[in-house]
Chain A
């Protein structure tokens, strides 16, 4: 759709019809305190009856309103070609904090899971920073990040508009005073999803599957437990966020199926970085990146021996999970339960 078509929406269509076809236009009216203008007229006709004083308070005149209406509609019409069609990400090494070269070139494809390990302060956030701004040798690390094998120029980097990486971390909270379903509806609306209802439903079911304890659509998001919140955030990131890269900073043990959560994200064809020291998560990844002194010192493939020990770790984890469930149900713990 080009801008002339949007002008036509304001001149040829009654506001009533406009709102039916483009519900989001009601936000435009509300933003300018124009909710009560006569709806049977077209926007440009209706504006003739509006007190200029109100428009001036927003720094607009009638023409300005029409112009920003077109801009608004243009911004919120889903683009046909997604800028974020990402199939691979390449990290080309720079320097660590002592200016020693990193000697690394790693290409990661969609659906791959990379775990990041290293002590606190080792440089995980430096790495994330580089990925987020698609560094081109111009950040303190000197790293270069290629998207689909190519470098990006500054204009393309700006176009990313901060949408490349979605983040999930332990200390994130819900702050809005909304119920789960209101919250999901609101997010779906902002994503301009055409099949909002189905997506919201899928998201809700999936979050409940991941969460240890179930919750209802009318539960307030601020009242969810830690595990439930995390489950909802992960399901939401999987189904609604269009960021092709997800960074997960430690998911807590309690109240959520961590592995299932990560698998879900990788099935959605996202590139996943998990910063974790949890052996179960680290070994379920495809590769493991070791960070020290601000630099990537090595990238390990998960070896066969490690894959074998994963089974034993899983058993340990299941045992612990069983104990947690027993506690939750008010049962008692016995030594026998520890022998899986």
Chain B
């Protein structure tokens, strides 16, 4: 089974891109499954069901979404293998722009949209920096110049990535994206494979449910901000 990881900021168009991509690949119905990692709630399962795509949704809830992803991804692979999928696509939101649910050797796509501001690519971290392909959505409503500036800013942080403009509504661009997926390799398990980047550090008192504010309640891994005299 081939595994593809798709990540990107909320509402950037991940689900639309994935649905168009699956349409484009022309694999038999039901042979491409999706696992959606979300935080609290998600309505994308309805869209996948509408498109007849097998879908499984998991909510990280109070756990860091990245930690949740990495502790469940191999189970997702086993689920996909059991159902006999030819391809499994995972979808997860890079909520703090620091996440990167990418695994060494596993094909990864970052989805970001053209409306998110010209400098956004320079602010997103490993989520963008470590992706193999960057799919840019909503390019049909901004000017050619803004698309080009946006692509330039993506190249600034991820020089080796391929930048593909995908229209999540008409599917324009998803064909060439699907061609890239042919490079994805077959796997049976992810055991002992490695994430491309560490997940956000955690385990402070707030991770374990502390709600009170103040130095005496802060324990564990903390990072304090430096306030300079102006």
Contacts and interface: CB of A to CB of B under 8 A. Distances in A.
B73 to A, nearest CB: 19
A71 B149 contact: no
Contacts of A175: 114-115, 141-142, 146
Contact of B159 (A71, A171, A173, A186): A71
A52 B92 CA distance: 29
Contacts of A157: 176, 179
Contacts of A28: 156
A331 interface: no
Given A191-B148, A241-B148, A173 B143 contact: yes
B33 interface: no
A129 B144 contact: no
Nearest to A154: B179
A34 to B, nearest CB: 13
A174 B175 contact: no
Contact of B180 (A158, A190, A241): A158
Interface in B178-230: 179-180, 196-198
Interface stretch (A105-113, A161-169, A307-315): A161-169
Given A168-B144, A171-B140, A241-B148, A133 B170 contact: no
A59 B127 CA distance: 11
A240 interface: yes
Interface residues of B, number: 40
Contacts of A161: 162-163
Contacts of B155: 75-76
Given A133-B175, A162-B151, A59 B143 contact: no
A233 B149 contact: no
A92 to B, nearest CB: 17
Interface in A90-136: 125, 128-129, 132-133
A285 B37 CA distance: 51
Interface residues of A, number: 47
B122 interface: yes
Most buried by A among B130, B152, B164, B173: B152
B65 interface: no
Given A59-B130, A128-B172, A162-B173, A167 B144 contact: yes
Contacts of A243: 144
Nearest to B142: A175
A236 B145 contact: yes
B179 A58 contact: no
A68 interface: yes
Nearest to A70: B159
B173 A171 contact: no
Interface string B124-164: 01100110000000001111111011011101110110111
Given A166-B144, A173-B143, A240-B145, A129 B118 contact: no
Contact of A176 (B146, B156, B164, B172): B146
A132 B143 contact: no
B107 interface: no
8 contacts: A57-B125, A59-B129, A72-B159, A128-B172, A161-B163, A162-B151, A173-B142, A241-B144
Interface of B: 114-115, 117-118, 122, 125-126, 129-130, 140-146, 148-149, 151-153, 155-157, 159-160, 162-165, 170, 172-173, 175-176, 179-180, 196-198
Interface of A: 27-28, 30-31, 57-59, 68, 71-72, 74-76, 125, 128-129, 132-133, 139, 154, 157-158, 161-162, 166-169, 171-176, 183, 186-187, 189-191, 229, 233, 236-237, 240-241, 243
